[in-house]
Structure 1
Amino acid sequence: MKRLLALVPDPMVRLLVVAIVMASLLPVEGGASKVAQWISNGAVFLLFFLNGLRLPRHEVIAGLSNLRLLGPLVLWVFGAMAFAGWAMSHAVAPWVPLSVATGFVFLGVLPSTVQSATAYTSLSGGNVASAVISAALLNILGVFVSAPLFALVDHGGAAVVDGSGLAKVVGTLLVPFILGQAGQRWLRPWVLEHRELATWMDRTSIAIAVYVAFSGAVVAGIWSLVGMDGWIVVTAATAIFLVFGYGGAWLLGGAIGLDRGNRITMLFSGAQKSIAMGAPLASVLFDPRSAGMILMPVLVYHLAQLVVSAPLATRLSAPGHSMNATSSSASGMRRL
C-alpha cells in the first residue's frame, strides 16, 4: 500500500486510492451503511459550506462579465460533454453493467474542477482570474443543472432522479453553500487563515463520500460484475472521452476567437470533471449500491485528467512565456 501511494504525488488522488482500497477490503454494510450514509451526507454538507465561505461574492459578479468565455464554456460542459457521455454510455453498454454505463452519462453532466483547473491554467500561462470564476460558476450551476440534466439524458438508465432526489441535492449542496456565502463576514477570515486545514477537510469529505459509495458497489459485487474486459472497456472509453474533452475544448476556444489566455482557461475548465462534485452528488442522488458503480467512470476520468494535465500544462507554457504576467495573481487565487 505504501509503495502504491508513493507512486501518486497528488494528495487527493492518494486519499481516493485509500478510500477505494478500504472499501474493497472493509466495506460498510448492513445497518452500519445507514450510519455511514448520514456521516457522508454531513461531510458533504461541510464541504459545500466551506466552498460558500471561500468564494468571494465580488469575484462571482466580476466573472459574470466575461460572457464571451462563459457562454460557450457552459454550453460545452453541460451540452457537448453531456451528449458525449450519453453516446459513450450506449457504446459501452454491451460490455459493462448498466449502472457502469450510466456512469458515463453522469460523468458527462458534471461541472469542472475548481482547484485543479485553476492551477493548471496558471502553470500554462492562462487567464487565472477567469479560470477561478469559470470553474466556480460551473460548480454553482452544477448544483442546479447536473441532476436535472442527468434525469433528462439518462432515459431508462440504472438510476432515477425524482423530486425527492433533487430536494436532497438542494438541501445537502445548495443550502450549505448559501449559508457559507451568508457567513463570510464572520467565518471567512478563519477559513483563509487555516487554509491548509480547510483543504484537508475538503479532501476528507470527498474521500468519505467515495468510501461509502464504493462500499455499496463492493457489497453489490463490483469486482465480480466487472471483469478485466470490463475494466479495459471503461479505460478505453475514458481515454476517448478525455481526447474529446480536451481536444474539443481547445478547438472551440480557437473557433470563437478567444485570446491565448482565455483559450487555455477554456481548455482546462471545459475538459476537466469534478470528483468534488461527482462523489457528493452521487452519494446524495443514488442508492449506495448504484452510486459506487456509477462513480466508476468518474474516478477513472479524474485520475486520467491529472496524468494528462501536468505534461499538457508544461507544453503550453513553453511558447507562452510572454503571457506569464497573467499568472501574477495565481498564488492567492489558485488555492481557492
Structure 2
Amino acid sequence: MKLFRVLDPFTLTLIVTVLLASFFPAQGSYVGFFEGLTTAAIALLFFMHGAKLSREAIIAGSSHWRLHLWVMCSTFVLFPVLGVLFAWWAPVNVSPEIYTGFLYLCILPATVQSAIAFTSLAGGNVAAAVCAASASSLLGIFLSPLLVGMVMHVHGASGSLQQVGSIMLQLLVPFVAGHLSRPLIGDWVARHKKWIGKTDQTSILLVIYTAFSEAVRHGIWHKVGIGSLLFIVVVSLVLLAIIISVNMFVARRLGFSKADEITIVFCGSKKSLANGIPMANILFPVASVGMMVLPLMIFHQLQLMICAVLARRYQQETKVAAKAATENA
C-alpha cells in the first residue's frame, strides 16, 4: 500500500496532463516554446541520471553474468520478438499506430527505480537488480534506437543513423556530462533525491503534454475510441503475463535461487516510461508520438500494479521460507 501511495499521485497527474492537452493543447507561438522547454527538460533528466549513477554501480555485478545475460535477453530479445510477431499478426482492426506503439514498447530498456524497488520489497537480490536495471538503461540508449531502425523499418517506421545520432546527442551526451560531473555535484544530488525525482516526473509530463497537444491537433481522439483503449489494456496484460511466466520458468529451469528469480522477474519484465517517451519524441514525428506512446503509458501503469501484487506474494513466500528454516534449525 505504501508503494501505491507513492505512485498514485503521478498516475493521476499523468491523466490530468493528457486531459489538459486534450482540451487546451499548445497552439501558435506556444508550440515552439513547449518544444524547446521539453528538449531542455529531457537533457536535464539524463544529466541527473548520469550524476546519480555511481561508477561502482555501472561496473558492479559482473560476476553474476548468467543473471544479467538473461535479463538483457528478456529485455532486448524476447520482448522485441513478441512485439514483431504481434505487429505481424495484427489480430484486431485498430489503428496501425497502436501496433507500432506496442512494437516500440517492446524494444525499450527496463526501468531502474521500480525494478529495484519491487526486488527489494519482494526480498530479491537487490545488488544484482541495481546492476541489471542500470545496465539495461545504459544499453537502451544505444540499442533501442538501433532496434527502431532495424525492426520498425520493416513495418514502415522511420529509423536512421541520423536519428540514432540525435538520440546520442540529446540523451547520451547529457548523461555522460552528468556522470563526469558526479565528483562535483554527487553529494548535492544525493541530498536532494526527492527534488531530482520531481525533475524526472516534470520532464515526462512536459513531453506528454507537448506530444498530446500535437496529436490532438491532428485528431488523435477521433482515431482512438473506448474499444481501442480496451484493446491496449488487454494486450498489455497478456504481454506482461507471457513475459513474467517465461522469466519465472527460465529462472527455475536454470537453477537460480529464489532471490535471483525475483530479480530476473522484476528486471526482465519492465519497460521504461522515463526513457521511452523522450526517445519517441526524438525518433518519430511529433504528430504521431501521442498515439505511439499510448501502449507504453498504459503498459507502464499496469506493470506497476501487477508487479506490486506479485512482490507482496513473493514477500509472503520469503517470510514463510525464513520461518520454516528457523524452525528446522
Q: Are the equivalent residues in 2 in contact too, given 1:131–1:265 (CA < 8 A)?
A: yes
- 1:62–1:287 Cα change, 3 Å: same
1:213 aligned onto 2:211: yes
2-structure distance, mates of 1:167, 1:16? 29
For residues 213-257 of structure 1, give each alpha carbon's deviation from its aligned partner in whole angstroms, at most 9, with x where no partner exists.
222222221111112222222222111111112112221222222
Q: Which amino acid aligns with 1:189?
A: D
1:167 aligned onto 2:204: no
Report deviation, 1:323.
8.1
The residue number in structure 2 matching 1:269 is 267
1-structure distance, mates of 2:138, 2:188? 23
1:113 aligned onto 2:89: no
The residue number in structure 1 matching 2:129 is 131
For residues 247-293 of structure 1, give each alpha carbon's deviation from its aligned partner in whole angstroms, at most 9, with x where no partner exists.
12221222222111111111011101110111111111111111111
The residue number in structure 2 matching 1:11 is 9
The residue number in structure 2 matching 1:101 is 99
2-structure distance, mates of 1:7, 1:78? 31
The residue number in structure 1 matching 2:46 is 48
Report deviation, 1:8.
8.8
Report deviation, 1:136.
0.9
1:32 aligned onto 2:50: no
2-structure distance, mates of 1:77, 1:243? 14
2-structure distance, mates of 1:181, 1:18? 33
TM-score where L is the length of structure 2:
0.92
Q: Are the equivalent residues in 2 in contact too, given 1:102–1:158 (CA < 8 A)?
A: no
1:193 aligned onto 2:187: no
2-structure distance, mates of 1:323, 1:179? 45
1:22 aligned onto 2:6: no
2-structure distance, mates of 1:189, 1:170? 26
1:56-75 aligned within 5 A = 56-75=54-73
The residue number in structure 2 matching 1:140 is 138
Which stretches in structure 2 are left out of the alignment for 5+ residues? Answer: 323-329
Q: Among 72, 78, 81, which residue is 1:80 paired with?
A: 78
- 1:87–1:8 Cα change, 3 Å: farther
- 1:9–1:184 Cα change, 3 Å: closer
Report deviation, 1:63.
2.3
Q: Is the radius of gyration larger for structure 1 or structure 2?
A: 2
Instruction: State which drifts further: 245-254 or 150-159.
Output: 150-159
Instruction: State which drifts further: 298-307 or 232-241.
Output: 232-241
- Percent identity reads 33
Report deviation, 1:163.
2.1
Secondary structure (helix, strand or coil) at the match of 2:153 reads: coil
Report deviation, 1:322.
7.5
2-structure distance, mates of 1:310, 1:67? 27
TM-score where L is the length of structure 1:
0.90
Q: Are the equivalent residues in 1 in contact too, given 2:152–2:159 (CA < 8 A)?
A: no
Report deviation, 1:176.
0.6
Q: Which amino acid aligns with 2:52?
A: R
Q: Are the equivalent residues in 2 in contact too, given 1:95–1:233 (CA < 8 A)?
A: no
Q: Are the equivalent residues in 1 in contact too, given 2:38–2:210 (CA < 8 A)?
A: yes
Report deviation, 1:306.
1.2
- 1:158–1:221 Cα change, 3 Å: farther
Which stretches in structure 1 are left out of the alignment for 5+ residues? Answer: 1-5, 325-336
